[in-house]
Amino acid sequence: MSMRACALAIVAAMAMAWPALAQNEISGPPVMTTVVVPVVGSVVGIDSVQWRTTVELHNEMRTPANVVITLPAAEEQPAILLPAIPPNGVVRFNDIVGQAFNLDDAISPMVVQTEGRRSITIHATIYGVRGGELLPAQPIPINYGATFFPSRALQGLSFSDSFRTNIGIANLGEKEASFTLALQRVPGRNVAVTHVTLPAATLWHSSIQSMFPLITSGENFTVVVETSSPETHVYASVIENGTDVARFVPASVAGVAAIKAASTRE
């Protein structure tokens, strides 16, 4: 199901959940503002670290906010309808996947839809639990504007004895999407290139070594991701092997511009 189809289903469910919204059906479905969190999850990784995601939803508007959150790449694409969040109200989930969706093992982008022309404010952090130890939380940057660009860069990636890197590629569109990934040590110079095709409503989260198996190690790599398909999202995480402390890496359009500029100067 695409985000558009998901939105239509959610709007119908909202009218049933909140009778006050049924009046909107006379003039058409309500306007929904959509924001995508690149990834949330509850999964077990290397060293038996349980990775989870904390999410806070802040309503900074003067009226109650009707909000729907969806995991479009998870099995059965679960969605929940939140009761109207009051002005200045906050809804917090320490483990969004486990608490809100009652899932033990899932990873997906998270779609947050707010009725109206303005989104609520979203804060998301990834943290790890290893035994009884709580690892430092890492914020996930949230982009409230347009997120699609044909070329996006993931910078500062490493895979070595000290660090490992995972890359996530999501296709939330209605059709399959093709991606070209170029690994670069120097801006504009490809060390290796790989191609990935993902079905609709799919997240591929994998190690950088599995994507570029001929590259054995390196520090401060950049991966440029190119696709013509909208409703796609990319991210990376760099994890220190000795401590399992992670650093979330958002996609950068500015990084692509700098790479192209460096390539032009050569």
Interval 29-44: pLDDT, tens: 789 999 999 999 999 9
By percentage, how much of the chain surpasses pLDDT 90? 76
Q: How far apart, in Å, are the Cα atoms of 61 and each of 24, 56, 89, 114, 142?
A: 20, 15, 9, 11, 18
pLDDT at 255: 56
pLDDT at 72: 97
Higher pLDDT, 109 or 17: 109
- Range(s) within the chain of domains with CATH label 2.60.290.11: 3-139, 151-265
Mean pLDDT within 60-79 = 95
- pLDDT digits 0-9 by tens, 138-165: 999 999 988 889 999 999 999 999 999 9
- Options 1.10.1060.10, 2.60.290.11, 2.30.130.10, 3.40.50.11540; which CATH number does 151-265 get? 2.60.290.11
Q: Does residue 17 have a pLDDT over 70?
A: no
pLDDT class of 254 with cuts at 50, 70, 90? low
pLDDT class of 16 with cuts at 50, 70, 90? very low
Q: How far apart are CA 145 and CA 122, in angstroms?
A: 13
3-state helix, strand, coil in the chain (%, to 5): 20, 50, 30
Domain 3-139: CATH superfamily is TM1070-like (2.60.290.11)
